[in-house]
Amino acid sequence: MIYSKIEGEGQPMLIIHGFLGMSDNWKTLGAQFAKLGYEVHMLDMRNHGRSFHSSNFSYQDMTTDVWEYCQAHQLKDVILLGHSMGGKIAMFFASQYPDIVSQLIVVDIAPKHYAPHHQDVMQALNAVTFYEGMNRKEVEDIISQYVTDAGTVQFLMKNVHRVTPTLLGYRFNLEVFNANEHAIGEELPSTATYSKNTLFIRGGNSDYILDSDFEAIKNHFPKAIIETIAGAGHWVHADKPNELLEKVSTFINS
């Protein structure tokens, strides 16, 4: 079963991270949601964080993982929040298991197909050859040759950990990501719908959700509200956490 961090008590809220992310990316906001009276489950999806590695990597696989997690924890009336890849998983899940999900929040991803666009990041990650005694600074220096944005570099470095006392490695399953580069861009099936209250949040500086995507969003999620957080890029929760917290809280309580 996939790994999770659980905080708080109350109505369950599941938070699903994006590609190359992990539950730790949401620990600050997760703690704030817990203080508002929710039992917050921050998940590590397969091949990410502390969850298991598998050669099978698709949205359907990850949707099944979330369903099995809900069954094991006897979760119902779930508030489901997902960012980027996690938002797409949340869409798949809510459309397949609407009886479990009471409200859906999708952060900076549309139900459409996305062409592979992480080439610089994947090139950077594949450029690192871990060896005995290698330190974190050496890993960071290699990644920084391919990725110029300091925030993205630090995001990637969160995945570097000690496999043994003298050997670093990645938490995620890079080999499987290399073999399944198109999986992350898969679109939501045309027949998939979720008719309960739904909130889409996009970053004002991000191009992941365009105005031209609104029609498709409404086709899949007829009760969708689409909000924009000015000044936020794709990592809305890192760029504007207070604004995101406010919009999600207002939506949940409306």
Q: What is the pLDDT of residues 24-49, one digit of tens each?
A: 999 999 999 999 999 999 999 999 99
Residue 84 appears among annotated catalytic residues: yes
Average pLDDT, stretch 55-84? 98
Q: What per-residue confidence (pLDDT) applies to 137?
A: 96
Given a cut of 90, is residue 1 above it in pLDDT?
A: yes
Q: What is the pTM of this model?
A: 0.96
Domain 4-114+186-253 has CATH 3.40.50.1820: yes
Residue 234 appears among annotated catalytic residues: yes
Given a cut of 90, is residue 188 above it in pLDDT?
A: yes
C-beta separation of 91 from 192 below 8 A: yes
Given a cut of 90, is residue 71 above it in pLDDT?
A: yes
**Which entry of 41, 48, 234, 237 is annotated as an active-site residue?**
234
**Stretch(es) of the chain classified as CATH 3.40.50.1820:** 4-114+186-253
Q: What per-residue confidence (pLDDT) applies to 151?
A: 87
Q: Where are the beta strands (DSSP E) in 26-180?
A: 38-43, 78-83, 101-107, 160-164, 167-170
**Which entry of 84, 95, 102, 206 is annotated as an active-site residue?**
84
Model confidence band, residue 212 (pLDDT cutoffs 50, 70, 90)? very high
Given a cut of 90, is residue 163 above it in pLDDT?
A: yes
